[in-house]
Every structure is written in structure tokens, then in C-alpha cells.
Amino acid sequence: MSTTESSNRYSITLPRASFLHRDYLDLYSLALPRPIYVYVAQNLECEDIAMSFFVSSLTNGRPPLIADYWAVKSMVKLYSEKKISGGKDHKSTRDACVNDFAELLGLKEDGEWPLQTDKLIHKNKFFGYGAEIEDWVGMDPSSFRSLPRLQGVIESMQALQSTSNDRRMGWLMQQKAETMREAKAAGMTENTDEWKERWG
């Protein structure tokens, strides 16, 4: 995110923390201004800024929604053969992307849709992360029988509503450990035996 938690505001998100409707993915390919699309395709850089700003340009300057705190904090970094964020020019390149993409999409202060900020953390940090709070209690898990994994998440979220913060954090660490085990088994955790076997 583009700001620190101490300011309690955000205006740009990384895709891994965003909660986007799939239609935005189609629109990114079909309707993103071609200069941005070509830049990202040729340089393999700034695709996250392009997506965040593109969504903002379609929502009157509002930043994309972000996933709940528990979902953001349970993510595991996976191995990638090509790393794009380590070069000496990385920061200056990204600064230029922010400036140029905001100009092209009308998100500057004098643009058609000035980039806005939204509240990052609401009263309940574990469930109230981002612009819109998910109403887990009001959901009926049985209406998601055809999606058992989602049904299980809803049931877990409802159960966690009435538990202590320590129990919530314990559940979160358990989820992260499970995700890490799955990533390791798939050879996506760098320098493990499974990784060495997969990537040689």
C-alpha cells in the first residue's frame, strides 16, 4: 500500500492485497490505455501501479478494495525465476510510472478523477481493513454449498467474530503455516529440497 498504517489512509494497492472483480482483469487487457499497456509489456515493470490506477480511473478516483487483514497477513511469498524489483533504477522507474500513469488516466489533482484515499483500518482491525468492511455475520453459509471452500471461510469468519484477539491471531498463524506447507510441497519456497527438485 502507498502509505503507512500510522496515517490510516491508502490510495494505491498491490494486486496481492487487492480484492478485484474479475471484470477488471478483462478490462485491463482490453481497455487500458495502450501507452501504459505497451510500457508494462515491454519493461515487465509497474503492472501493479497500472492495475491499481486503472481501477481508480473507473471508480471516480477511489483506490481498489483491499482484502481483509487476516487474508493480507496470511500471504506467503512464492519463488519467481525472474525478479523485477531488485534493480538500482527500480524506485525511480516506479516514481515515473506513478507520475505518467496518473497523468494518462486523469488521476492527478487537476485531472478528471483525482486520486482519493480511503480509510485503511476501521474499529476492528482483524475484520475492518480497507474502504468497505465485509459483513461476515450477515452472510448465510448454506447459500454457498456449491463452493465448499468459500462456505468454510464464511463459517470460520463468523466463528472468529466472537473470539479473543489472541485466538484470532492463533487461527491466522495456523492458516499461514498451512499455506507455507502447500507452497513448500509445490516447490515454490526457495532453497528447500522441493524447490531444488522442481527448479534444478
Name the residues annotated as catalytic.
48
Burial class (CB in 10 A: 0-12, 13-18, 19+), 94: middle
Identity (one letter) of the amino acid at 111? G
Alpha carbon distance 149, 140 (integer Å): 14
Nearest CA-CA partner of 159 in 186, 177, 141: 141
Alpha carbon distance 11, 74 (integer Å): 22
- Roughly what angle, to the nearest 10 degrees, separates helices 90-105 and 34-43? 160
Other CB atoms within a 10 A radius of the CB of residue 81 amount to 5
